[in-house]
Amino acid sequence: MRNLAPYAALDGQSRGRRHPESPPAYRSEYQRDRDRIVHSTAFRRLVYKTQVFVNHEGDLYRTRLTHSLEVAQIARTIARALQLNEELSEAICLAHDVGHTPFGHAGQEALHECMRDLGGFEHNLQSLRIVDELEEQYAEFAGLNLSFECREGILKHCSVANARLLGDVGVRFLKRQQPGLEAQLANFADEIAYNNHDIDDGIRAGLITIEQLTTVPLFARFHAEVREHYPDLGGRRLVYEIVRRMINLLVSDLIVASKARIDVAGVASIDQVRRHPAPLIGFSDATCAMNQQLKVFLRQQVYKHYKVQRMTAKARRVLAALFDAFFEDPGLLPEEHQAVADRGEALAGKAGRARAVADYIAGMTDRYAILEHRRLFDPAERT
Ligand code: MG
* CA 111–ligand 1 middle distance (angstroms): 18
Kindly list the structural domains of the chain, giving each domain's residue range(s) and its CATH number in brackets, ordered by start.
17-307 (1.10.3210.10), 308-371 (no CATH)
Give the whole-angstrom CA distance, residue 135 versus residue 72.
21
Ligand 1 centroid from CA 330, angstroms: 32
State the Cα–Cα distance between residues 17 and 8, nearest whole angstrom. 18
| Residue 50: per-residue pLDDT | 77
Give the distance (Å) from ligand 1 centre to CA of residue 48.
15
Q: What is the Å distance from ligand 1's center to 61 Cα?
A: 15
Residue 106: other Cβ atoms inside 10 A = 24
pLDDT at residue 265, as a whole number: 98
192 Cα to the center of ligand 1, angstroms = 10
The rounded Å distance from CA 32 to ligand 1 centre is 22
- What angle do the packed helices 335-362 and 104-114 form, to 10 degrees? 120
Write out pLDDT tens, residues 289-340: 999 999 999 999 988 889 888 888 988 999 999 999 999 999 999 999 999 9
Residues with CB under 5 A from ligand 1 (ion): 97, 190
147 has a pLDDT exceeding 80:
yes
State in Å: Cα 123 to ligand 1 middle. 10
Ligand 1 centroid–CA 49 distance in Å is 12
Spatial distance between the Cα atoms of 303 and 76, rounded to a whole number of angstroms: 28
- DSSP letters of 203-224? HHTTSS-HHHHTTSHHHHHHHH
**Cα-to-centroid distance, 339 and ligand 1 (Å):** 32
**Predicted confidence (pLDDT) at residue 214 exceeds the cutoff of 80:** yes
Alpha carbon of 25 to ligand 1 centroid (Å): 32
Instruction: Give me ligand 1 centre to Cα 186, in Å.
Output: 9
- What pLDDT band is residue 2 in, cutting at 50, 70 and 90? low
Q: What is the largest CA-CA distance in the chain?
A: 69
Cα–ligand 1 centroid distance for 187 (angstroms): 8
The chain-wide mean pLDDT, for the chain, equals 94
Give this prediction's pTM: 0.95
How far apart, in whole angstroms, are the C-alpha atoms of residue 17 and residue 40? 17
